[in-house]
Chain A
Amino acid sequence: MRLELKNLYDDFRDPDTIKALAKLIYNEAKGLQKPVNIMEVCGGHTHTIMKYGLKQLLPESIRFIHGPGCPVCIMPKERIDHATILARQPDVILVTLGDMIKVPGSRGSLQQARSEGADVRFVYSPLDALKIAKENPDKTVIFFAIGFETTTPMTAALIDRAEKLGVKNLLYHINHVTVPEVMRELIDSRDEHIDSYNNRIDAFIGPSHVSVIAGAKIYKEFPKRYGRPVVVSGFEPVDVMEGVWMLVRQFVQNRCALEIQYRRSVTMEGNLTAQKQIEKIFEKRGLFKWRGLGNIPHSALKLREAYAHLDAERVYADILPVEEIEDHKLCICGDILRGMAEPTECQVFGTACTPSKPLGSCMVSSEGACAAYYKYGDLLK
């Protein structure tokens, strides 16, 4: 078996600590008036919950709802099509991060484009795009930027540096999305099949890495305006369990607050330098389509007018389609991302849709809820 670095964070994976926390939660949960549905917004948390069987350690009165927080999962086919079309242009090198390689658009994935000769490169850091641009002055390098608040400042820093260095052959296709807007959408929206499924979400576990940048403050409105407590938690099982405990205590004590579990790196204000950098380069988009969720107002960023000449969406506007594309009709990723269904309720889960041949976005990324259920599904039995 190949050892994974992910297995090495023993201090935060100590079974005794996890069990002790489970016991605390059990005791605390006795004071609950009714069951509590906790949405973990981020796919990283879903992964931890499944991998360590945290669901099974908790009383029945505490339920997890898996949220939409995976930048790869929520990328609509239209945007992936943009990436594959751009990658297939002559003299273009398309650069991106992580799992984007496998996600199918309506015209295949970046992996397919690459196998057909397109120059697609996957990097560990946005700064590598700058290096590639410098090394290939006769090519146009397009950085297909993805991610939540966590990765946005890195793209901003890349753009700022390239401008200062006078690099002319580096363009950007911006797909940075923001967490509070989608959370608001999940609470505000209704579904015709369920009278008011907004009641399904009682509380949120907020991802710590987003708040390292943006601060915990971005969730202030949820306890105040929506009556949903939020605890910003780390990704280790001990972090998640402690976050759950903190939420349960709030319900038992009849409080509704924003709290930080991950004090190791998260503050209320966040990283102000990074926030300034983002502000300089980006502004809000009017609308952005989330795969499975549809158009959500102000839920994504675009380049400010001063950087419009670097925007691949504008530069290549004549070849990039704008029509909306429907998702596969058997796929219920939308319901899963909204917290209305579990992956196992999907009729193609594990049959027509598997990690090696995914139909829907939740199966594509290792952070997706379906992929986590597929990988660690034995724990459910």
Chain B
Amino acid sequence: MCLSIPSKVVKIDKEKATAVVDTMGVQREVGIDFIENEVKIGDYVLIHIGFAMNIISEEEALASIETYKEILALMDEEQKRQAILDGNNCSG
């Protein structure tokens, strides 16, 4: 399914059009080519196959992250990493 957990922008490289985002503790580099408004450190974005697709409000982001946190706490590190990546991996 094509869902994604809100990810927080922690680093931006405008030249490369990439950002490092933190998805509940898992950090990775994503493309920011398609963000229409300027993205800032601390913004929450939704990721789809390696690209940030839109900025979402902090309030909305934090509310949904709370839900995931409780369950992810039950997983070991590898399961958690996999689950976070899988959540953004639909090719549709």
Residues of chain A having any CB pair with chain B under 8 Å: 2-11, 42-44, 47-48, 69-72, 97-100, 124-128, 146-148, 150-151, 153-154, 157, 160-161, 207-210, 212-213, 235-236, 264-265, 271-274, 277, 367
Rounded to whole angstroms, the CA-CA distance of A153 and B52 in the bound complex is: 12
> Known: A5-B68, A235-B3. Is A43-B92 also a contact (CB below 8 A)?
yes
> Known: A6-B1, A273-B36. Is A151-B87 also a contact (CB below 8 A)?
no
Is B31 touching A70 in the complex (CB atoms < 8 A)?
Answer: no
The 3 closest A-B pairs by CB, nearest first: A125-B50, A5-B83, A98-B91
Contacts of B89 in A (CB 8 A): 97-98, 124
Rounded to whole angstroms, the CA-CA distance of A277 and B31 in the bound complex is: 13
Is A209 touching B68 in the complex (CB atoms < 8 A)?
Answer: no
Is A128 touching B50 in the complex (CB atoms < 8 A)?
Answer: yes
Contacts of A210 in B (CB 8 A): 92
Contacts of A97 in B (CB 8 A): 49, 89, 91
Rounded to whole angstroms, the CA-CA distance of A127 and B75 in the bound complex is: 28
> Known: A10-B67, A272-B36. Is A124-B91 also a contact (CB below 8 A)?
no
> Known: A47-B1, A125-B51, A209-B2. Is A273-B34 also a contact (CB below 8 A)?
yes
Rounded to whole angstroms, the CA-CA distance of A7 and B83 in the bound complex is: 11
22 CB contacts below 8 A, A to B, read: A3-B75, A3-B83, A4-B86, A5-B87, A9-B3, A97-B89, A98-B90, A126-B50, A127-B29, A127-B50, A127-B51, A150-B2, A153-B33, A153-B51, A154-B31, A161-B17, A209-B92, A213-B34, A264-B60, A265-B53, A273-B34, A273-B35
Contacts of B60 in A (CB 8 A): 264
Nearest Cβ in chain A — how far from B63, in angstroms?
A: 8
Chain B interface residue count, CB cutoff 8 Å, equals: 40
Is B46 touching A265 in the complex (CB atoms < 8 A)?
Answer: yes
Q: Which residue of B lies closest to A4 (CB)?
A: B83
- One digit per residue, 1 when the CB lies within 8 angstroms of any chain A CB and 0 when it does not, for chain B 56-92 equals 1000100110011001101100010001111111111
Is A273 touching B33 in the complex (CB atoms < 8 A)?
Answer: yes
Rounded to whole angstroms, the CA-CA distance of A235 and B92 in the bound complex is: 12
The residues in B between 22 and 47 inclusive whose CB is less than 8 angstroms from any CB of A are 29-31, 33-36, 46
Is A157 touching B1 in the complex (CB atoms < 8 A)?
Answer: no
Is B48 close to A, CB under 8 A?
Answer: yes
Is B46 touching A71 in the complex (CB atoms < 8 A)?
Answer: no
A7, A44, A72: the one within 8 Å of B2 (CB): A44
Contacts of B87 in A (CB 8 A): 5-6
Rounded to whole angstroms, the CA-CA distance of A98 and B88 in the bound complex is: 11
Nearest Cβ in chain B — how far from A184, in angstroms?
A: 19
Is B84 touching A8 in the complex (CB atoms < 8 A)?
Answer: no
Contacts of B54 in A (CB 8 A): 212, 265, 271
Nearest Cβ in chain A — how far from B45, in angstroms?
A: 11
Rounded to whole angstroms, the CA-CA distance of A273 and B79 in the bound complex is: 35
Q: Which residue of B lies closest to A100 (CB)?
A: B91
Is B2 touching A11 in the complex (CB atoms < 8 A)?
Answer: no
Rounded to whole angstroms, the CA-CA distance of A209 and B54 in the bound complex is: 12
Is A70 touching B92 in the complex (CB atoms < 8 A)?
Answer: yes
Nearest Cβ in chain A — how far from B21, in angstroms?
A: 12
Rounded to whole angstroms, the CA-CA distance of A70 and B92 in the bound complex is: 6
Is A99 touching B91 in the complex (CB atoms < 8 A)?
Answer: yes
- One digit per residue, 1 when the CB lies within 8 angstroms of any chain A CB and 0 when it does not, for chain B 1-23 equals 11101000000000001000000
Is B51 touching A71 in the complex (CB atoms < 8 A)?
Answer: no
Rounded to whole angstroms, the CA-CA distance of A255 and B78 in the bound complex is: 50
Is B92 touching A367 in the complex (CB atoms < 8 A)?
Answer: yes
Is A69 touching B92 in the complex (CB atoms < 8 A)?
Answer: yes
Is B68 touching A8 in the complex (CB atoms < 8 A)?
Answer: yes
Rounded to whole angstroms, the CA-CA distance of A69 and B92 in the bound complex is: 8
Nearest Cβ in chain B — how far from A172, in angstroms?
A: 15
B56, B71, B79: the one within 8 Å of A7 (CB): B71
Rounded to whole angstroms, the CA-CA distance of A125 and B23 in the bound complex is: 15
Is A157 touching B71 in the complex (CB atoms < 8 A)?
Answer: no
Q: Which residue of A lies closest to B88 (CB)?
A: A124
Contacts of B53 in A (CB 8 A): 212-213, 265, 271
**A-B contacts besides A3-B75, A127-B30, A154-B50, 16 pairs, CB < 8 Å:** A7-B71, A9-B67, A43-B92, A48-B1, A69-B92, A99-B91, A125-B51, A128-B50, A147-B91, A150-B90, A151-B48, A154-B49, A157-B17, A273-B36, A277-B33, A277-B34
